[in-house]
Amino acid sequence: MAMIERAQKQDVSEILSLQKLAYVSEAEIYNNYNIMPLKEDLATAEQSFEDNIVLKYVEEGRIVGSVRAYEKDGECFINKLMVHPEYRNRGIAQKLMEGIEKQFKGVTYKLFTGSRSTKNIALYEKLGYKGYKKEKLDVEDTVFLFMMK
């Protein structure tokens, strides 16, 4: 049975492997395989577990989805939403988003995604997010769409 639960430190390696697999499709959109999610190392991922609530979606005993978020000054910053390519289009990303939002009450939710990532944007809009700016970050060449709810 599939379930969403809080990820633990021992899950970091499996989630990082999933991330590197899941974000290849983003890299393909931009023809840039030097994006941050593909470059993240184990130490950085471990630190992320210290700074974020990390949820995992477990199906058939394996982690096939994950999302992270943290709160600061009344804003919840959602990041690293991912689903294994073989498990996409089954509602897992939506369930993860709903699950992470439940961890933070009475806040403004914020996230960003690649400005050409039409499937991601459509999902976030379906969940009530609205774009409020496009901007390139110093860490990579992608132009991101920043969204909030």
pLDDT in tens, 69-106: 999 999 999 999 999 999 999 999 999 999 999 999 99
Full set of structural domains in the chain with CATH:
3-148 (3.40.630.30)
pLDDT of residue 138: 84
Tokens coding 93: 């990303």
Three-class secondary structure of residue 116 per DSSP: coil
pLDDT for the residue numbered 114: 95
β-pairing, 75-83 with 53-59?
A: unpaired
Render pLDDT for 15-67 as a digit per residue (tens, 0 to 9). Answer: 999 999 999 999 999 999 999 999 999 999 999 999 999 999 999 999 999 99
Asked whether the predicted pLDDT for residue 9 surpasses 90, the reply is: yes
The Cα 116–Cα 120 span in angstroms is 9
Q: What is the sign of the dihedral through the CA atoms of 90, 96, 102 and 106? A: negative
Report d(CA 8, CA 18) in Å as an integer.
15
Give 135: exposed, middle or buried? Use CB within 10 Å, 0-12, 13-18, 19+: exposed
